[in-house]
Structure 1
Amino acid sequence: MADLLIGNIEDGTTDDEISEFLSRYGFPPFDKIEHVPGAGPRPAVLLTFNDLDTEALRILQPRIQNVFWKDRTINAMIMREHGY
């Protein structure tokens, strides 16, 4: 299981839009999504991929890092494994 935080997304971006965006860059479907309100105008989403490990996600992450999408430059960060 691996988690990916995508920040600086446009407020109001739907789960379907996020899924379509990621699929264009070769990501598998995510299993869980949590919308994280950002400080000011920078909301984020935390995505969980049950069938990916951190190393597989590390290969995919550069595909979307600093991509300009919906009038914003997004950032993607792999979250540390919880270990519980």
Structure 2
Amino acid sequence: MSHLWIGNIEADVTPEEIKEFLGKYGLPPFDSIQYVPGSGERPGVILSYENVDAETLRKFQPRIHNMFWKNHSIVVQVMPTRSEE
């Protein structure tokens, strides 16, 4: 499982809008989404991918990192793999 963080995504942006946006740039559909409230001005989402590895997501990251979307410049990072220990 791998995770993609997208910062500067408002809470009212729907999962469907995010899937459509990512799909335009060739990213695979995510399996789940978690909205993360920001400390005032930087809310975001964590997208989870069951069958996509982090290395694959890193190849897609430059396509959308720092893009202007929905009145914000978005920040995109592949999250480090967490140990299940």
Superposition TM-score tier, normalisation by shorter sequence = over 0.9
Moved over 2 A (4+): none
Is the partner of 2:9 in helix, strand or coil? coil
Distance 1:17 1:7 in 2: 15
State the superposition RMSD in angstroms: 0.9
Alignment partner, residue 46 of structure 1: 46
Alignment partner, residue 68 of structure 1: 68
Alignment partner, residue 19 of structure 2: 19
TM-score between the two structures when normalised by the length of structure 2: 0.93
Distance 2:10 2:72 in 1: 7
What is the count of residue pairs matched by the alignment?
Answer: 84
Alignment partner, residue 32 of structure 1: 32
Shift of 1:41: 2.0
Letter in 2 for 1:39: S
Shift of 1:10: 2.9
Percent sequence identity over aligned pairs? 50
Give structure 2 stretches of 5+ with no counterpart.
none
